[in-house]
Amino acid sequence: MTQSDIQKFVPLKPQWFHIMLSLAGQEQHGYGIMQDVLNRTTGKVRLWPATLYGSIKRLIEADLVEESAERPAPELDDARRRYYRLTSLGRRVLDAECERLQELLRTIRVKQGMVTE
């Protein structure tokens, strides 16, 4: 995978970014992703089911996310749940997006006189 393959996804759509960030630390099911985004953004971003699952479908088609076959212990799981994880490409794209956002934040701070270059 080349850098240009990664850059074609950047900047990420906001909902894609939040979904991928939720999957950066661990595999998650859809409801877990929705709750993680809601909690992490203190309620400012809410992914409704149609948005979430439509985005997950497109992320899978783009090879950024894949469905996981691994499952928690049966007593901790619901058989109807589908679990998702980042692919290696998805992880590299998320890293590139995070770098882009960090650079944007540095630029904002310089422009506002908060830091010097």
Quick: pLDDT tens for 73-100: 656 666 678 999 999 999 999 999 999 9
d(CA 7, CA 16): 15
Q: What's the pTM value of the predicted model, to 2 decimals? A: 0.87
Distances (CA, A) of 99 to 24, 27, 96: 15, 23, 5
Amino acid in position 109: R
The stretch 23-43 carries a mean pLDDT of 95
H-helix or E-strand spanning residue 68: strand 65-68
Domains of the chain with CATH codes: 12-111 (1.10.10.10)
Residue for token pair 């058989």: 79
The interaxial angle of helices 30-40 and 14-24, nearest 10 deg, is 100
